[in-house]
Amino acid sequence: MDLEGKVALVTGSAVGTGRETALAFARGGCDVVVNYSRSAQEAEETADMVRQLGRKALCIQADVADDKAVRELVKSTLAQLERIDVLVNNAGTTSFIPHGELEKVGDDDWDKILSVNLKGPFYAVRAAADALRKSGGAVVNVSSVAGVSGTGSSIPYCASKAALNNMTVTLARALAPEIRVNAVAPGFIDTRWFKQLDGYEAIKEMSANYAPLKKVCQPEDVAKVIVDLATSDLMTGQVVVLDGGMTIAT
């Protein structure tokens, strides 16, 4: 896929990996829809950065866990930009709960995490499917190595990303040949989301030292793979692990 003149809708793109992804698509020639749930100021900043790159940008609030809101997000995108060529399901959430502390996992944790991390991408794909079929477009889901290795911020988070990996394959089969669906599964990403952890710098250093390539992901690393997946015309149903080799370390 040639990105020039195309439209990319990136959920959760106010900051971090989502922001870098929005900017990467803009550099490639796309107009971009910047979606956010709560971070309005940061989302507007991202949209301004896209415009400074010479591309159109919409800034639209929508909670991806709300099916009606997601349908309105897609409807607004089509009304103003007339097409959707790439959908990036980047919005995500978690709860930080040690895996062994089972009693600390409540129904609210399961409901919140599955609603955003699993139902949200499904809602977005369903709402955008007709537009993506028309454009011969692509979906990229932002997963996590937590869904591959079962290590991560909490058991519900790991389960949500494992389910997202499976849904990526299922959707790729269901929506072919018009729409390609892939996922990227990053390891530790150096963003403010992880910086809320106690002992962040120590965890980052430990993660880098454990990985064969001796480094962790930066948001721009993930954004590059997302763009590659969106533009690779013969790839579908794949989950690409991006973790410096951590999952193969012994």
CA distances in angstroms from 62 to 4, 38, 71, 90, listed in the order given? 26, 9, 9, 13
pLDDT band at 188 (very low <50, low <70, confident <90, very high): confident
CA distances in angstroms from 144 to 1, 105, 135, 164, 191, listed in the order given? 25, 20, 28, 9, 14
pLDDT band at 143 (very low <50, low <70, confident <90, very high): very high
Edge-to-edge strands, sheet with 239-242 = 57-61, 31-36, 7-10, 86-89, 138-142, 180-186, 239-242
Helices (H), 82-180: 107-114, 120-135, 146-149, 155-175
pLDDT for res 199: 67
210 belongs to the catalytic site:
no
The answer to whether 236 and 180 have CB atoms below 8 angstroms apart is yes
6-53, pLDDT tens digit by residue? 999 999 999 999 999 999 999 999 999 999 999 999 999 999 999 999
The answer to whether 89 and 127 have CB atoms below 8 angstroms apart is no
Q: What tokens appear for 34 in the block?
A: 């910047």
Find the catalytic residue in 36, 157, 200, 210.
157
Q: How far apart are CA 28 and CA 44, in angstroms?
A: 20
* Percent residues over pLDDT 90 in the chain: 85
76-117, pLDDT tens digit by residue? 999 999 999 999 999 999 999 999 999 999 999 999 999 999
SS3 213: coil
pLDDT band at 142 (very low <50, low <70, confident <90, very high): very high
SS3 18: helix
What the chain holds in terms of domains, given with CATH numbers, is 7-248 (3.40.50.720)
Query: Whole-prediction pTM value?
Result: 0.95
pLDDT for res 33: 98
Phi/psi of residue 82, nearest 5 degrees: 75, 0
pLDDT for res 149: 93
DSSP secondary structure code for residue 248 in this structure: G
